[in-house]
Structure 1
Amino acid sequence: MFRSLSRLAIALSLCLPFATNAQTRSSASAKPRLTSSPTLSEQKAIRAFNVAAQNPLQLTAFLTDMPKGGDLHMHLTGAIYAERFIEQAVSDGLCYSPATRRLFKPSATTRSLPPQPVCGEGNRRAEDALKDQALYDTLVNDFSMRSFVPSAGVSGHDQFFATFARFSAVNQSHIGEWLDEIAGRAAAQNEQYLEVMHTPDFLAAAKLGYSIPWPSTPADPAFNRTGDATGTTHADLAKLRDQLLAGGLRDMVAPDRQEFAGALDARNRIEQCGTPAATRACAVKIRFLYQILRGFPPQQVFAQTLLGFETVQAELDSGHPNVIGINFVMPEDGYLSMSEYHRQMLMLDYLHSVYPRVHITLHAGELAPGLVTPAGLRFHIREAVELGHAERIGHGVDIMYEDLPQALLKEIASRHIMTEINLSSNDLILGVEKQWHPLPVYRSAGVPVALATDDEGVSRINITHEYARAVLDFHLSYSDLKRMARTSLEHSFLSGSSLWAQPDSFTAVNPACASQNLGADDPSPKCTAFLQANEKAAEQWQLEHRYQLFEGSQP
């Protein structure tokens, strides 16, 4: 959170080059009208948008500068462009196997100075790519969806998920550089907040989990309708938790917390945050989601999930959390992801009862007909919200194939459970194009939605691309996009109360700031105190200020 609200305009003028001081003054002096009627400045932005929307290139330029709030669905390694991985593979002295299309660490190096990797017959040094354009192009294509064309037995889904293993040998010591890359890209697009999924070290927890037999208590048939629920009574899981904690799992929390903190410290050093030489990227706030791998046996998944909950709980207890929630990842159509899905939701049901402050967002419904059996499309989103206690749903593509979909839509709308929309990812992985995408269904049902990138590096996109795609594919208006940007911060896991008086209703602010110029840089002492005490509201106030600047700059 900013230390002094009176300095907000100064900070933003450094990171928003299209705003002038005159625009700052004129926009800050305009009284906001918190109704459905647009302000004069907003009307100018709407006219400019409508003109730009006639041409994709003009639209992209307009949307690049438009404030976008946050990206709540972003995998860290998937967000990094292949070119960065090649650069780091060279610095790490890695090798590349054309046969497996993967980077790997050499088992030996030459005695020369500097030492060079010994890669073996048929393999290449990563540094060769800097002198061989054909090899460089091959690596970019292997590490992303660039130039990919589906062929017999190899789908976009296969290529997409295969990329992660291919660049996984790049050393985790580069994590600060990865954060700098995504923060810099976000800043260049007038984005202010990222919730980034990352998996810290959990191997010791997995080993411990496998050392404890999974309980064999059969489940009540009422809880066994959609998959195996053996060993998932609260009593069974409580006993497992006690055994894991007694085995030293809690000792693994501090190293995981340090991994997250160290990554952010490295990013701050790279960007020189807090110094006169600070880059624009410093203005982008980053928080982590603890990423849990769902495609493994229950012993490992429960142990890693417990470690995730313990880590986030410790972060929250610290009062300055870097890690604020958990998410389950890996292809949802995988055998273990499918066969263990119900049991995993029951694990979350128990752990939520023990750690109710830990936020949960879940990949659910990242499925399409033909990818799994029809029965496999019928329950994932419902169980994520009713058993898994998901506050947000990632993807949610198969919503209309679920049992009683209209009732489910009504339920998640009434409970204000947001759907994280990943248009390019859904197209590239699932083959779900605009006429089959449920975004219009969610919007018409009143379900809160926000656009996200998922894996912008692998997909070769950015958040502006997703905004433009939403406009071109679904004919969204400027007001629609502005609502999505506001929704992203409304459903962030940042601490404290919302700026808005009612959930997902962006027409009246919290009484503490009700009489203020919305987004002004000089709010009253009462409003200032409220913003300083509520990190979420402070970010939302900053978004409104950015809209003042942006809309006031339109011709």
Structure 2
Amino acid sequence: MLTCLSAAPPAAAASAVPPPPLTDAEARTDAYLASVRTTAPDPRALRRFFLKLPKGGDLHNHLFGAVRTEYLIALAAEDGLCIDTATLTAVVPPCGPGTRPAVDARSDRDFREAILRAWSMYDFPPDQSGHDHFFATFDKFGLVPALHPGKVLAEVADSVAAQHQFYLETMVNPASDRAEQLADEVGWDPDLAALHARLLDGGRLDEVVADARRATDDSDAGFRAAARCGTDRPRPGCRLTVRFVYQAFRGESRERVFTELALGMRLAERDPRFLAVNLVQPEDGPVALADYTLQMRMVRYLHTVYPKAHVTLHAGELRPGLVPPEDLRFHIREAVDVAGAERIGHGVDLRHEDDWQRTARTMAARRIAVEVPFTSNAQILGVRGAAHPFNTYRSYGVPVVLATDDPGVSRTDISHEYQYAAETYGLTYPELKDLARASLEYAFLPGRSLWQGNPTRDGYRPAAACAGQLPGSGRAPGAECRRLIDASPKAAVQWREEAASVSFERAFGRTPAPN
């Protein structure tokens, strides 16, 4: 039986302490936001506010789905690729019957717009389900970014930096073809330890790891060249801290899913550019549904072998009617309890799961964050507003971070996600500021945090080493605080966020509201 959706949230934990009081700058900035949002509504001023708002990092981002579709069309034209006129899929040349050169999109507006519609949610009717169209886009444009991962990363990094973010965890899958080949050679074995041993036999998995690292080296070189890093004209993306999450494809055969997960976790322990693994593709796909529990067991086993690898999982990206009722009852719970996920992506069907309140309390107690991409949830699932569990997670003390998912396909940006949250759920500036801080606090970037304790429960209080020395305090960081920032990649980006917030509050806290 599905649990009741109207259960009351838990009482605040007795151990919680009052959050730090607002500073004058925060209060003035909040007053400005209120003025342009409700007192004297000004859409342009509101958009500018959210664009300039420092927004920490993006923790749920698929690299190939994040790049602008217009840029992909330009790359396809430069490469001399062809477009299948029946499916609008990019294919390799020569352009024979049934295809057109992608370069035609430069001069033929109708052709260009047809590609935009096929490769993204451009002009998609808002009153229709976008689920099938959304997921179909990747096979149509996938050849293009695969040829230029470095250029694509440079473009995406610039867009993230332009949104006033300082960190990106993006999902990639280098050498996945080699992993699939190895999996097919090894075959399936329900004894996961034995299967893992067969992957390691003769150093075969390590060969795939080496291939993945070489592919990432090539991508890095392409990124640095395209972004002009190290020159006197670097692009903004050069200043962005970027790390990777390896994505395994949950719709593949069991042996392929296991092998890709093993590859991703082995990379995370051997290459500092990689931090974690995730499972991607539609959660409602037939294989994904049939093998869901088994895949959670795969993650649990491999995490015992690779304990330093982090785990974030798409779970609960479902709604009633999309799958049979029984498949709504356990996905988030098993991602938490069986797989040991440290973050949950989407988590939309929470309130349809059995004993979901216990799952929410568990997530709060373990500080398991939920990654929320509002536009993606609306486009794919049709879930928005009060139907979204955003406020439910917050009421239970679950850490929440805002994310974009596939902003190129969705045609959105992180500023829109923050604005949507503020307007839909009535968030204040201090609440938005803490959402941005959460996106760095719950990042997998290594090192000590700038904050102490449980910030989601107790508020963001600086670690003892930096107490009273944050940007805007009027005090330069002392030796102990500086050591923390220099030694910790996480604390370093958190410090950048705090410094940017001070500048933002000076600008908007002193800006008179428009008449």
Query: Do both share a fold (TM > 0.5)?
Result: yes
How far apart in 2 are the matches of 1:515 and 1:139?
54
TM-score, normalising length from structure 1?
A: 0.85
Equivalent residue for 1:72?
59
- Larger mean Cα displacement after TM superposition, 169-178 or 158-167: 169-178
Q: Counterpart of 2:58 in 1: which secondary structure?
A: strand
CA contact (8 A) 1:519 1:541 kept: no
Distance apart, 1:35 and its partner CA: 5.3
Candidates 290, 304, 321, aligned match of 1:370: 321
CA shift, 1:517, in A, is: 3.4
The answer to whether the Cα contact below 8 Å between 1:500 and 1:506 also exists between their aligned partners in 2 is no
Q: Comparing 545-554 with 34-43, which one deviates more in the overlay?
A: 34-43
- Counterparts in 2 of 1:331-346, with a 5 A limit? 331-346=282-297
Checking the alignment, whether the CA contact within 8 Å between 2:50 and 2:415 is kept in structure 1 is yes
State the SS of the aligned residue for 1:170: helix
Correspondence 1:349-498 to 2 at 5 A:
349-498=300-449
Matched residues in 2 for 1:528 and 1:276: separation?
28
Query: Does the 8 Å contact 1:519/1:542 carry over to 2?
Result: no
- Structure 1 residue aligned with 2:498, among 525, 539, 544? 544
Could you tell me which amino acid in structure 1 is paired with residue 404 of structure 2?
A: T
User: What is residue 92 of structure 1 aligned with on the other side?
Assistant: 79
- Counterpart of 1:483, as a letter, is D
Structure 2 CA distance for aligned equivalents of residues 177 and 519 of structure 1: 37
1:40-55 equivalences under 5 Å are: 40-54=24-38, 55=41
The answer to whether the 8 Å contact 2:452/2:462 transfers is: yes
1:354–1:372 distance in 2 versus 1, CA, 3 Å: same
- Which residue does 1:241 correspond to in 2? 196
**Is 2:134–2:380's contact at 8 Å kept on the other side of the alignment?**
yes
Matched, 1:516 2:466: no
Q: CA deviation at 1:298?
A: 0.7
CA contact (8 A) 2:129 2:382 kept: no
Query: C-alpha displacement at 1:148, in angstroms?
Result: 1.5
Q: 1:543 to 1:201 in 2, by over 3 A?
A: same
Query: What TM-score do the two structures reach when normalised by structure 2?
Result: 0.91
TM-align CA RMSD: 1.7
Counterparts of 1:280 and 1:103, CA distance in 2: 29
Identity of aligned residues (%): 42
C-alpha separation between the residues in 2 aligned to 1:150 and 1:525?
54
| Counterpart in the other structure of 1:130 | 106
Instruction: Pick the aligned partner of 1:143 from 119, 122, 125.
Output: 119
What letter matches 2:462 in structure 1?
A: V
In structure 2, C-alpha distance between the alignment counterparts of 1:61 and 1:404, rounded to whole Å? 42
Q: How far does residue 150 in structure 1 lie from its aligned partner after superposition?
A: 7.5
> Is the Cα–Cα contact under 8 Å of residues 145 and 152 in structure 2 kept in the other structure?
no
Q: Aligned match of 2:220 in 264, 278, 283?
A: 264
CA distance in 2, matches of 1:101, 1:173: 18
Q: Do 1:78 and 1:456's aligned partners in 2 also have CA atoms closer than 8 Å?
A: yes
AA paired with 1:39? T
In structure 2, the residue matched to 1:218 is none
| Cα distance in structure 1, aligned partners of 2:365 and 2:293 | 24
Match of 1:532 in 2: 486
Secondary structure of the equivalent of 1:502? coil
2:37 is the counterpart of 1:37: no
Q: Which residue of 1 aligns with 2:162?
A: 188
Question: Structure 1's 398 and 171: CA in aligned 2 closer, same or farther, altered over 3 A?
Answer: closer
**CA gap 1:97/1:238 in 2 versus in 1, 3 angstroms:** same
SS in 2 for 1:530: helix
Q: Equivalents in 1 of 2:365, 2:283: separation in Å?
A: 26
For residues 405 and 529 of structure 1, the distance between their equivalents in structure 2, rounded to whole angstroms, comes to: 42
Deviation at 1:528, TM superposition (A): 0.7
Separation in structure 2 between the aligned mates of residue 249 and residue 465 of structure 1, nearest angstrom: 41
1:518, CA displacement in angstroms? 4.0
Structure 2 counterparts to residues 199-214 of structure 1, below 5 A = 199-214=173-188
Taking the aligned partners of 1:188 and 1:81, their CA distance within structure 2 comes to: 14
Q: Is the 8 A contact 1:295 1:337 kept in 2?
A: yes
Change (3 A) 1:150 1:190: closer
After superposing the two structures, state which structure 1 stretch, 259-268 or 407-416, moved more: 259-268
Q: What residue number does 1:22 align with?
A: none
8 Å Cα contact 1:519/1:543 also seen in 2: no
Q: Tell me the distance in 2 between the aligned counterparts of 1:134 and 1:452.
A: 32
Aligned residue number for residue 7 of structure 2:
none
Question: What are the within-5 Å matches in structure 2 for residues 108-187 of structure 1?
Answer: 117=94, 119-149=95-125, 155-170=129-144, 172-187=146-161
- Provide, for residues 487-519 of structure 1, a one-character-per-residue CA deviation record: whole Å limited to 9, x for no partner: 000000111111111122434211111242346
How far apart, CA to CA, are the structure 2 residues paired with 1:43 and 1:408?
Answer: 35
Cα contact 1:68–1:190 (8 A) shared by 2 = yes
59 and 528 in structure 1: CA distance in 2 versus 1, 3 angstrom threshold:
same
Asked if 2 retains the 8 angstrom alpha-carbon contact of 1:293 and 1:329, the reply is yes
Q: Please tell me the residue identity of whatever aligns with 2:489.
A: E
> Cα deviations across residues 41-83 of structure 1 (Å, max 9, x unaligned)?
1122111111222333321110100100001000011111111
Partner Cα separation in structure 1 for residue 470 and residue 299 of structure 2:
42
Distance 1:205 1:280, change over 3 A: closer
Cα deviation for residue 276 of structure 1 reads 2.8
